[in-house]
């Protein structure tokens, strides 16, 4: 019984998924949630997004008070007609689990022009409109590295919106090991107690 528990723990620890697959319109996009992708995503964010979008509620070693946007929201609103939203919680706001990351990936890669207007397929679906969007394509559509860049930025924003995800994951196996140990001790104690009782009864 204890052995079965230990096997279960080893199994769950091995599952610890750093890679996560998401289905995007039949196309499989693999989100690598590891620390390298996170830090690549963060530098890409600082390169391509921070001019307009802040991460006001983000807390990191380099950013104890969050990240302010380059442009103040009023000037940005004057320039684009819509104030660029803060992105700290955007990935959670646009879907459960990895859906928010998928959305950001789609948004960055789904621009097109129609009727002389900048449009976005992902934004169209999200807002149930034609998809006219006030954000110009942050990464040029012809950048050959667009898919990788979009993926890393999506991962970064996903982890920003779910800051305790990694902690919860690394804690899991320890909690299970603790429970297993407790179970073993209680089992032994139970046997010992009853053995005493039975011995007394037999008298
Ligand atoms: C030049 C300014 C600018 C830059 C740079 C920029 N954005 Fe935006 N962004 C905007 C504006 C303006 C909006 C509001 C769009 C609207 O509602 O029409 C927006 C909206 C968004 C939204 C919300 C869309 C929704 O569903 O409501 C997301 C997500 C987003 N941007 C992500 C990014 C990411 C990621 C980057 C960097 C790769 C980036 N943006 C770079 C101006 C910018």
Q: H helices within 110-145, ranges in order? A: 121-127
The β-bridge partners of 152 are none
Q: What is the pLDDT of residue 61?
A: 84
Please report, for residues 51, 88, 92, 98, the alpha-carbon distance to residue 67 in angstroms, rounded to integers and kept in the order given. Answer: 11, 9, 18, 23
Residue in this structure with the two tokens 């750093």, named with its chain if needed: 18
The DSSP call for residue 117 is E
In the reported structure, the alpha carbon of residue 98 is separated from the centroid of ligand 1 by a whole-number distance in angstroms of 19
For the chain, the straight-line distance linking the first and the last C-alpha, in angstroms and rounded, comes to 31
In the reported structure, the alpha carbon of residue 185 is separated from the centroid of ligand 1 by a whole-number distance in angstroms of 55
Query: Which atom of ligand 1 is found nearest the CA of 82?
Result: 12
pTM of this structure:
0.77
Q: What is the pLDDT of residue 10?
A: 62
Grouped pLDDT means (10 residues each) for the chain, 203 residues: 65 53 58 92 97 94 91 92 95 91 95 92 95 95 94 96 76 88 93 88 79
Identify the CA nearest to 107 among candidates 21, 42, 24: 24
Q: What is the largest CA-CA distance in the chain?
A: 97
Pick from 111, 129, 135 the residue to mutate for probing ligand 1's pocket: most ligand atoms within 8 Å of its CB: 135
Query: Which atom of ligand 1 is found nearest the CA of 80?
Result: 12
């Amino acid at each position: 019984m204890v052995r079965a528990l230990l096997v279960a723990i080893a199994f769950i620890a091995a599952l610890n998924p750093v890679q996560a697959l998401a289905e995007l319109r039949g196309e499989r996009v693999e989100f690598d949630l590891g620390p390298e992708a996170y830090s690549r995503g963060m530098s890409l964010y600082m390169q391509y997004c921070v001019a307009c979008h802040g991460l006001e509620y983000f807390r990191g070693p380099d950013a104890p008070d969050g990240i302010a946007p380059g442009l103040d929201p009023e000037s940005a609103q004057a320039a684009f007609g819509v104030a660029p939203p803060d992105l700290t919680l955007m990935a959670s706001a646009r879907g459960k689990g990895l859906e928010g990351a998928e959305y950001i990936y789609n948004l960055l890669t789904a621009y097109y022009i129609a009727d002389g207007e900048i449009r976005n397929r992902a934004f169209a679906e999200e807002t149930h409109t034609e998809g006219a969007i006030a954000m110009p394509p942050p990464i040029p559509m012809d950048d050959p590295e667009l898919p990788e860049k979009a993926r890393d930025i999506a991962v970064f924003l996903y982890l920003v919106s779910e800051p305790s995800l990694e902690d919860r994951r690394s804690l899991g196996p320890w909690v299970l090991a603790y429970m297993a140990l407790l179970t073993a001790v209680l089992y032994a104690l139970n046997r010992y107690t009853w053995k005493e009782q039975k011995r007394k009864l037999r008298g």
